[in-house]
C-alpha cells in the first residue's frame, strides 16, 4: 500500500513538473534559448561543451594538447604520486562551463545539479565503473562555509549520481576539520600544503575494504581530492577513484 501511494505521489510529481514546464518553459542557462526535456542546458549548448578526450594522464586525467600514441603519466603525478587510483573529469573548465559552475556554486543555481550530474554520470560510466564502486563520498565543506552557502555543491552531485548509478552515497564519511583559505590564487605546491590535514574520516568502519568514488565539482591541481583520497586510503579504503564535472 505504501509502495502504491509512493508511486502515485511520484506520478503526480512528474505531471506537476510537466504542467509547470508548459506554463513556464525552461530556458537554457548558457544561451537563454529554449531548453527541452526538463533540462536547463539546451542540446546545442550541451553539444558545444569542451568534453575531455584523449590524450590525458592515465592517473590524474589531466588532458594534454597534441597527440600521444600510448598511455602516459604526467610529470606532476610522476613527482607527487596521488593517493587516489584514478581521476577523470567530464569537461574542461572553460567558457560556458565556467559560467555554469560559477552560477551553480556561488549563486544558488542548485537547479543545475541534475544537468551537471548527467555530465558526471557519463564520465563515470566511461572511465571508472569497470573496476567496481561500492560507495560514493564527496568533498565536504567546512561547517562555517556550509552554514553561509546553505548547500554543498559536491554533495548534491553525489546524491544525484547515486540515484543514477544505484550506488549508495555515504553522507558525512569525511569532514573538514580545518578552515582553509581559497585555493584559486595559490600555485600547485601551495594548494597541496593548504589542504594538508584539513580532512578527517568520521566513520572508519564504513571506509575499510570498500572501493570508493569521490566526487567534487572542479579539479584544478587535484590537491583537495588528493587530500580526501589520502584520508580514505589511510582508513583502509581498497580503492579510491575521483570524478569531477570539470577540470581546470
Q: What cell was used for 198?
A: 584539513
Q: What cell was used for 25?
A: 518553459
Which range, of 60-68, 166-174, 188-196, 238-246, touches Zn ion by CB under 5 A?
60-68
| Cβ–Cβ < 8 Å for 78, 233 | no
β-pairing verdict for 211-219 and 239-247: parallel
Q: Does 45 bind Zn ion (CB under 5 A)?
A: yes
List the one residue out of 208, 200, 216 whose CA is nearest residue 239. 208
Q: Grid coordinates 567546512 are at which residue? A: 142
Q: Does 46 bind Zn ion (CB under 5 A)?
A: no
Q: Does 30 bind Zn ion (CB under 5 A)?
A: yes
| Cβ–Cβ < 8 Å for 45, 58 | no
Beta carbon nearer to Zn ion, 22 or 47: 47
Beta carbon nearer to Zn ion, 31 or 202: 31
Q: Grid coordinates 594538508 are at which residue? A: 196
C-alpha–C-alpha distance, residues 213 and 86, integer Å: 10
Q: Does 118 bind Zn ion (CB under 5 A)?
A: no
Which range, of 39-47, 146-154, 159-167, 196-204, touches Zn ion by CB under 5 A?
39-47
| Cβ–Cβ < 8 Å for 221, 76 | yes
Q: Does 60 bind Zn ion (CB under 5 A)?
A: yes
Cβ-Cβ contacts under 8 Å for 206 (sequence gap 6 or more): 135, 170, 173
Q: Which of 49, 77, 87, 124 binds Zn ion (CB under 5 A)?
A: 77
| Cβ–Cβ < 8 Å for 248, 93 | yes
Q: Does 31 bind Zn ion (CB under 5 A)?
A: yes
Q: Which of 42, 121, 215, 218 binds Zn ion (CB under 5 A)?
A: 42
Q: Which of 39, 74, 103, 114 binds Zn ion (CB under 5 A)?
A: 74
CB of 37 to Zn ion, least distance (A): 13
Q: Does 225 bind Zn ion (CB under 5 A)?
A: no
Beta carbon nearer to Zn ion, 129 or 188: 188
Triad 140, 144, 150: Cα angle to 5°: 75
Beta carbon nearer to Zn ion, 57 or 158: 57
User: Which residues contact Zn ion by CB under 5 A?
Assistant: 28, 30-31, 33, 42, 45, 57, 59-60, 62, 74, 77
Amino acid at each position: 500500500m505504501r509502495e502504491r501511494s509512493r508511486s502515485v505521489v511520484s506520478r503526480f510529481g512528474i505531471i506537476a513538473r510537466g504542467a509547470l514546464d508548459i506554463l513556464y518553459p525552461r530556458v537554457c542557462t548558457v544561451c537563454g534559448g529554449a531548453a527541452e526535456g526538463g533540462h536547463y542546458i539546451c542540446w546545442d549548448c550541451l553539444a558545444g561543451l569542451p568534453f575531455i578526450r584523449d590524450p590525458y594522464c592515465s592517473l590524474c586525467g589531466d588532458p594534454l594538447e597534441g597527440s600521444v600514441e600510448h598511455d602516459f603519466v604526467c610529470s606532476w603525478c610522476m613527482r607527487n604520486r596521488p593517493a587516489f587510483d584514478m581521476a577523470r573529469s567530464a569537461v574542461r573548465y572553460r567558457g560556458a562551463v565556467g559560467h555554469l559552475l560559477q552560477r551553480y556554486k556561488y549563486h544558488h543555481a542548485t537547479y543545475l545539479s541534475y544537468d551537471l550530474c548527467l555530465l558526471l554520470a557519463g564520465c563515470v560510466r566511461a572511465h571508472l565503473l569497470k573496476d567496481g564502486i561500492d560507495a560514493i563520498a564527496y568533498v565536504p565543506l567546512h561547517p562555517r562555509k556550509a552554514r553561509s552557502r546553505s548547500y554543498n555543491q559536491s554533495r548534491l552531485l553525489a546524491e544525484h549520481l547515486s540515484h543514477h548509478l544505484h550506488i549508495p552515497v555515504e553522507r558525512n564519511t569525511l569532514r573538514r576539520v580545518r578552515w582553509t583559505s581559497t585555493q584559486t590564487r595559490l600555485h600547485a605546491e601551495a594548494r597541496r600544503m593548504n589542504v594538508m590535514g584539513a580532512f578527517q574520516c568520521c566513520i572508519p568502519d564504513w571506509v575499510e575494504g570498500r572501493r570508493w568514488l569521490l566526487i567534487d565539482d572542479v579539479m584544478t591541481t587535484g590537491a583537495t581530492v588528493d587530500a580526501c583520497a589520502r584520508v580514505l586510503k589511510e582508513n583502509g579504503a581498497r580503492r579510491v577513484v575521483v570524478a569531477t564535472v570539470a577540470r581546470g
